[in-house]
Amino acid sequence: MSLAITLASGSASRQGLLAGAGVDAASIRPNVDEDAAKAALRAQGMSVRDQAMKLAELKAVKVSNRTPGLVVGGDQMLSLENEAFDKPADLAAARDHLRKLSGKTHTLETAIVVCENGAPVWRHLARPKLTMRPLSEDFIESYIGRAGDALLSTVGAYQLEGLGAQLFTKIEGDYFSILGLPLLPLLDYFRTRGAIAS
């Protein structure tokens, strides 16, 4: 019998990527206080990439402690010149994000951790780099007006799969990882464990 797969997340994007790839996975919100965890990790001086990995692990461990099979936790943080960006709280914050990212290259620290029986058994970090073109104030206002509150669900205040494609001049890295889940290495791991067909 194949191992059950559970996504320790309420992310519609991550759920959609797994479902689109034909992976039957349950989804359970881990209910981790991410703000408190981030504050503690930042107080320790932890790098942005290590913060993302630690948060992914916290989510996976919490759900795995009460759920059999393989539990996938994920986290994505935006790093610009070693500064961590969180999801914007409102459209004014989204506007500030876009102004700071305009004309620069940032990294999406996209971490996944798979746990089994409450312990990590596999982890992966993808680091796509995205170069945003210089954005005029008029463009930013128009973009925010068109995209609206959907921007508040992403760390960079953009959705590459939609209007966000207009923001960039160059992208280096895996498309799935940009959307929040390094899907291809994860599928590989599932196959090695017999959780999906090989």
| pLDDT at residue number 61 | 98
Kind plus residue range of the DSSP H or E element containing 4: none
Per-residue DSSP letters for 132-173? EPP--HHHHHHHHHHHGGGGGGSTTS--TTTGGGGGEEEEES
| pLDDT at residue number 10 | 86
Q: How far apart are CA 7 and CA 64, in angstroms?
A: 10
The answer to whether 75 and 132 are in contact (CB under 8 A) is no
Instruction: Work out the pLDDT band at 33, boundaries 50, 70, 90.
Output: very high
Q: How far apart are CA 56 and CA 110, in angstroms?
A: 9
Instruction: Work out the pLDDT band at 13, boundaries 50, 70, 90.
Output: confident
Known catalytic residue at 75: yes
| pLDDT at residue number 161 | 86
- Best CA proximity match to 78, nearest among 52, 60, 104: 52
User: In this model, does residue 1 exceed pLDDT 90?
Assistant: no
Residues 6+ apart with CB under 8 A from 147: 158, 159, 162, 163, 164
Interval 51-104: pLDDT, tens: 999 999 999 999 999 999 999 999 999 999 989 998 899 999 999 999 999 999
Residues 6+ apart with CB under 8 A from 7: 14, 15, 18, 25, 26, 27, 28, 71, 72, 74
- Best CA proximity match to 42, nearest among 94, 87, 82, 1: 82
Q: Which two tokens stand for residue 191?
A: 């196959």
Looking at domain 5-192, which CATH architecture does it have?
Answer: Alpha-Beta Complex (3.90)
Domain ranges across the chain? 5-192
Q: Per the residue annotation, which of 35, 75, 90, 138 is the catalytic one?
A: 75
Q: Average of pLDDT values for 8-35?
A: 93
